[in-house]
Amino acid sequence: MPLSCSFYKPEAVNDSIYIREYQPFKEGTKAVELPDASTLKLESDLPSIDGATALYPLYAAFVQAVYPKAEYDPYNTSNSPASIKSSSTSTAYRNLINGDVDIIFCAGPSFDQLEMAREKGVTLNLTPIGKEAFVFFVNIKNPVSNLTVDQIRGIYSGQITNWSNLGGRRNDIRVYQRQKNSGSQTMLESIMGDTEIIEPITENELTFMLDIVNRTASYRNYNDAIGYSFLFYTTQMVRNERIKLLSINNIFPSKESIQNHTYPYIDDFYAITTDTENQNVQKLINWILSEQGQYLVEKTGYIRSCSKTSVFGTATLDLLEKTGLRPVFPEFVAKLTEFWNKLIPL
């Protein structure tokens, strides 16, 4: 029988208000600009793009640096020279696998997304372009400021249900989750490993990342809620002063703790493609990995990448079953690539 825990289902709140602040070439845009002219300029065969909400500010900066000046409305692409969308991780993967876009910028794929690619005979090429922290947060009134990795697993498995077990007040823990196949939910699944995640006692999970921030901050929840998201989205895009980030194993999520890998929940994010005949796709990715592209990664608020491309082919799901590995974290990519390479001679 599925585990359950206290869960409040609010009305969904759309992220679009924050997305439009970063629209490329828009007057007053928050998208970061290069100090010098881009070494790559594309004028035709512009790659179409989609991606995760939390990464839109970054790929908007890429577009602003490389694409011709025009209106690139993330929600109405009919009048744009190229489709630069901002949907969600799950929708972006579906659009890529269906051939509707050329590149997506997201966290690593979930098992369902890998299965979708396998069923359609699509190879996913993942190029790490930066690193980000996955963070947990509580209401500012909550006295708890630190949790261990084991305590996080305990909360999201339903084994720990009251803040008094964690040094807090005697209140039931209100556990928020995102919908399946969202980038943040896939990250939580990776963190939990083989430990079963608690089932929310509501018929639907929260749709938008903004929901999980606002409901944790809400006065209606007092100090009993816990949520999760990505560091940049939480601290730079939303900036809700009524939540506080938690240290994990006494390590606070900061630029320094991400760079030196002392914070436990760090992951690559990727430029993801399928096999395409558009040569500008690889040109754009190569430029993103260049000094100028990585400058935009860093100045936007992420950590530079120094990794290599990984390929997830149509046999990936079989390989996952054999290795028992879960996607997303860098160790997964390294081990999966190692096993994949061993299969090539066969």
Give the CA distances from residue 282 to residues 53, 102, 292, in Å, rounded to whole numbers and listed in that order.
23, 10, 16
Considering the domain architecture, whether residues 8 and 149 belong to the same structural domain is answered as: yes
Residues 156 and 290 in one domain: no
Q: How many other CB atoms sit within 10 Å of the CB of residue 207?
A: 17
Task: Mark which of 231, 259, 287 sits at the end of a domain.
Answer: 259
Same domain, 71 and 137: no
Q: Domain of residue 315: give its range.
A: 16-131+267-343
Looking from the CA of 75 toward its CB, the CA atoms found within 13 Å total 10
With vertex at residue 93, the alpha carbon angle to CA 90 and CA 95, rounded to the nearest 5 degrees, is: 110
- Same domain, residue pair 239 and 137: yes
Indicate if 30 and 88 belong to the same structural domain: yes
pLDDT number for residue 51: 94
Count of CB atoms within 10 A of residue 157's CB? 15
How does pLDDT run along the chain (346 residues), one tens digit per residue? 333 333 333 333 344 457 889 999 999 999 999 999 999 999 999 999 999 988 999 999 999 999 999 999 998 878 888 999 988 888 999 999 999 999 999 988 888 889 999 999 999 999 999 998 889 988 888 999 999 999 999 999 999 999 999 999 898 898 877 766 676 777 888 888 888 888 765 533 444 444 544 554 454 545 688 888 888 778 877 666 778 999 999 999 988 898 888 999 998 899 999 999 999 999 999 999 999 999 999 999 898 986 555 554 444 444 444 433 344 344 444 544 554 444 444 3
pLDDT reported for residue 186: 79
pLDDT on residue 310: 52
Of the three residues 259, 283, 305, the one that is the final residue of a domain is 259
Answer with the one of 259, 281, 310 that is the final residue of a domain.
259
**Is the pTM value of this prediction over 0.85?**
no
- For residues 271 and 127, state if they share a domain: yes
Choose among 164, 145, 184, 199: nearest CA to 54.
184
Residue 194's pLDDT is: 87
Question: What's 218's domain CATH number?
Answer: 3.40.190.10
> Taking a C-beta distance cutoff of 8 angstroms, is the pair 270, 128 a contact?
yes
The pLDDT value recorded for residue 201 is 52
Q: Are residues 89 and 151 in the same domain?
A: no
Number of domains in the chain: 2
